[in-house]
Amino acid sequence: MSGPDPVKALGTWRAVEAGYEAGIPLVLTGVAWFTISKLFTTPSPIRPPTMVELGVVLGAAVALTGWTISRQFFLLRRRNPWQMILVSIIFNGVILFALPRRIASGFEEKCAELGGAVLASTDIVTELAGATVCQVGGVPGNPYLPGVFFRPPFPDSISPLLWVIFILIAAVSVLGFRDKRLRPTTLSSRLFDSLRLAPAMGIKSSAGKPKAEPDSVQACNNATFWGEACGQLYSGDKKWLPGERCVRCHQPFQKCKAELTFTVVTLFNGDVDVLNGLERMDTNAWARGGPIPPDGRISGQERWVTLGRITLPSVITVAQALSLVHDKLKDWESSANGDEKEAAKLAMTRASRISAWIWFGRVNHLLTYATPTRRANLAIGPMRLKDLVPHIGEDLTLQLDIGLLPLDLWTGSKMSFSDNRAPALQNSHFTMWIPVSPPKATKKRQGLWVPRIEGDALRAWISTDRLKQEDEEAAGSIPLAYANRQSAREDLTPPEEMKPSEGSLDLVRLPMNKAGAEPIMDRGVGDSIAEWAWLEWEQIELIRQQALVLVETPVERS
């Protein structure tokens, strides 16, 4: 999910929308008059249209022309109704005045294509007496071989009554349809969405002198008339005069005294294959029904690298905070070495500028885990830091998001062996990393995304192993539903008595118990990932806070 720069995009959106609103009526009007001209220039063997029929067809075209003219004036912000009416009457009058001559010349051309001649009819047919007709197959001057007469479908001139009607239609259509759009404008909604996901400018957006530094800023805490805190940034060294006003809210400056200090961390590596290789190495497996062993970190590799600490006013938004962090990354990268230097470079090129994760509590001793804590909130651009941190005084960690999400998976399996050993049933707990950002992003749009993933893509990432079927002749592992201690003791039956499962395996989102040692096997509506078409940020936050567990779904019998 990404968006362009709203300031630059607004002009483009408005130009496209204005071109659509101005161009389509012009095209429709041109097509209408072209169709009328083509219809009335074709010679017809039937009687010509009556005055009512002619008035309906031409009146509709006149109304369409009046609407088109009024829309052009409306889009150009020339809203004088009398000016619109005058121009509409003149345009329609010129078209209607020229239309009979254009149709007469077209009638002659069509008659010539039919191999006929245009002449003034005699009283052979009473209602055509004196009218212009197209004679095809006849002998001129021979009343016994008249041939076929094609009637003109349009009169030689428009009657005064129709002129009056058309003038009224031209005027009324302007007044009635001048503000009628082809479709509602989307500028406001698109601008709102783009501003929601727009990156902040960091220290460049700070006002006044001296120049602000990323780790020394202050913010205005005034309540504004538009319903939110001001949050305008200034240098932390700026001295305020009594009653001096903020440049954004135009009220006497009120400093935000509440500050939040974050420890900034990021992934040490952005290669998803490397990360998943480490997680497979650190998988925790144990016999089904037995106690869960301590989770040893065989790899010894810290997934998260600490870049530094930063103190920010609590009133600013997540986008402002991330822009200040990105301004600080260059300093951290220049002063770091080893893994910290590489991690800082990775964060500068891939970290989102409008979304990040906030962890709560002490986690500095748990950085070898992909999910050091389940108390993690997804912070998105317009959210205020004070709304995301309910208790000031707790250790806070800001995790920069480079587009990789760790999924906590609890599964079961049946291990078969090539020798005569009995199959072994076991549970396992491991982490899988999946991408949640666009695969490619241009330099201008880098970092303008929040985590989002298609449900089918998520299932493709985590369903390969559990789709395998059991092969009685081959050794290996097949997936089974995860079972906690009580349920595992119930299904520990001898291998020869084990029956094939009649249900299907499914991954569901389950909360962890208070000790955090095992999932609570209590399903609810919306827990199954099979029910998710798209995972928006709220769902991604839930699967980061909870665990995905492989369970067995029983077959429903009729």
Q: Are residues 412 and 290 in the same domain?
A: yes
Percent share of the chain, pLDDT over 90: 10
- Whether residue 194 is predicted with pLDDT greater than 90 in this model: the reply is no
The mean pLDDT value for 382-392 works out to: 84
Domain boundary residue, one of 177, 209, 233:
177
Mean pLDDT, the chain, rounded, equals: 79
Split at pLDDT 50, 70, 90, the class of 325 is very high
pLDDT in the model for residue 440:
64
Instruction: Show the domain range for 286.
Output: 259-553
Is 194 or 79 the better-scoring residue by pLDDT? 79
Map residue 390 onto helix, strand or coil.
Answer: coil
pLDDT in the model for residue 558:
45
DSSP 534: E
Residue 222 lies in a domain: no
Residue 234 lies in a domain: no
Q: Are residues 170 and 278 in the same domain?
A: no
Contacts of 480 (CB under 8 A, 6+ apart): 411, 412, 413, 414, 425, 501, 505, 550, 552
Q: Are residues 164 and 264 in the same domain?
A: no
Report how far residue 404's alpha carbon sits from residue 422's, in angstroms, rounded to the nearest whole number.
39
Closest CA to 289 of 510, 492, 429: 492
**Structure-block tokens of residue 427:** 């549970």
Phi, psi (deg, nearest 5) at residue 454: -75, 140
pLDDT in the model for residue 498:
41
The mean pLDDT value for 421-438 works out to: 85
DSSP 541: H
The mean pLDDT value for 214-239 works out to: 86
pLDDT in the model for residue 557:
46
The mean pLDDT value for 193-219 works out to: 80
Q: Are residues 161 and 301 in the same domain?
A: no
Q: What is the pLDDT of residues 231-266, one digit of tens each?
A: 889 988 888 888 889 988 888 999 888 889 999 999
Split at pLDDT 50, 70, 90, the class of 479 is confident
The mean pLDDT value for 440-456 works out to: 72
pLDDT in the model for residue 356:
93
- Whether residue 428 is predicted with pLDDT greater than 80 in this model: the reply is yes
Do 543 and 459 contact (CB within 8 A), yes or no?
no
Q: Is the pTM of this model over 0.75?
A: no
Q: Are residues 327 and 442 in the same domain?
A: yes
Which stretch, 124-133, 187-196, 345-354, 491-500, has highest mean pLDDT? 345-354
- Torsion sign, CA atoms 245, 251, 252, 254: negative
**Structure-block tokens of residue 156:** 């030689």
Half-sphere exposure of 132 (CA within 13 A, CB side): 17
- Whether residue 158 is predicted with pLDDT greater than 80 in this model: the reply is no
- Whether residue 436 is predicted with pLDDT greater than 90 in this model: the reply is no
pLDDT in the model for residue 144:
63
pLDDT in the model for residue 468:
47
- Whether residue 495 is predicted with pLDDT greater than 50 in this model: the reply is no
The mean pLDDT value for 273-285 works out to: 90
Residue 146 lies in a domain: no
Angle between helices 51-75 and 81-113 (to 10 degrees): 130
Q: Are residues 170 and 301 in the same domain?
A: no
Residue 188 lies in a domain: no
Phi, psi (deg, nearest 5) at residue 449: -155, 155
pLDDT in the model for residue 417:
74
Q: Are residues 387 and 509 in the same domain?
A: yes
- Whether residue 426 is predicted with pLDDT greater than 70 in this model: the reply is yes
Residue 425 lies in a domain: yes
Split at pLDDT 50, 70, 90, the class of 46 is low
- Whether residue 2 is predicted with pLDDT greater than 90 in this model: the reply is no
Percent share of the chain, pLDDT over 70: 81
Q: Are residues 376 and 283 in the same domain?
A: yes
Q: Are residues 310 and 459 in the same domain?
A: yes
Residue 288 lies in a domain: yes
- Torsion sign, CA atoms 222, 223, 226, 227: positive
Split at pLDDT 50, 70, 90, the class of 471 is low
DSSP 223: B
* Neighbour-count burial for 402-412, b at 16+ CB within 10 Å, e otherwise: bbbbbbbbbbb
Q: How many CB atoms lie within 10 A of CB 557?
A: 5
- Whether residue 43 is predicted with pLDDT greater than 70 in this model: the reply is yes
Residue 292 lies in a domain: yes
Q: Are residues 276 and 414 in the same domain?
A: yes
**Structure-block tokens of residue 398:** 């800001």
- Total domains in the chain come to 2
Q: What is the pLDDT of residues 93-147, one digit of tens each?
A: 888 888 877 877 777 777 777 777 777 665 454 455 556 777 777 766 666 666 6
pLDDT in the model for residue 433:
92
Phi, psi (deg, nearest 5) at residue 291: -70, 150
CA angle 460, 461, 466 (to 5 degrees): 75
Is 258 or 194 the better-scoring residue by pLDDT? 258
Do 46 and 39 contact (CB within 8 A), yes or no?
no
**Structure-block tokens of residue 553:** 């779904």
Q: Are residues 396 and 520 in the same domain?
A: yes
pLDDT in the model for residue 394:
83
pLDDT in the model for residue 437:
83
Least confident among 90-94, 139-143, 525-529 = 139-143
Domain boundary residue, one of 145, 177, 209:
177
Q: What is the pLDDT of residues 501-520, one digit of tens each?
A: 555 778 888 888 766 678 88
Q: What is the pLDDT of residues 290-311, one digit of tens each?
A: 888 888 788 888 899 999 999 9
The mean pLDDT value for 26-43 works out to: 82
Q: What is the pLDDT of residues 167-192, one digit of tens each?
A: 888 888 888 777 777 777 777 677 76
Residue 537 lies in a domain: yes
Domain boundary residue, one of 122, 145, 177:
177
pLDDT in the model for residue 126:
45
495 cis-preceded (ω within 30 degrees of 0): no
Q: Are residues 173 and 321 in the same domain?
A: no
Burial grade of 440 (CB within 10 A; 0-12, 13-18, 19 or more): exposed
- Whether residue 444 is predicted with pLDDT greater than 60 in this model: the reply is no
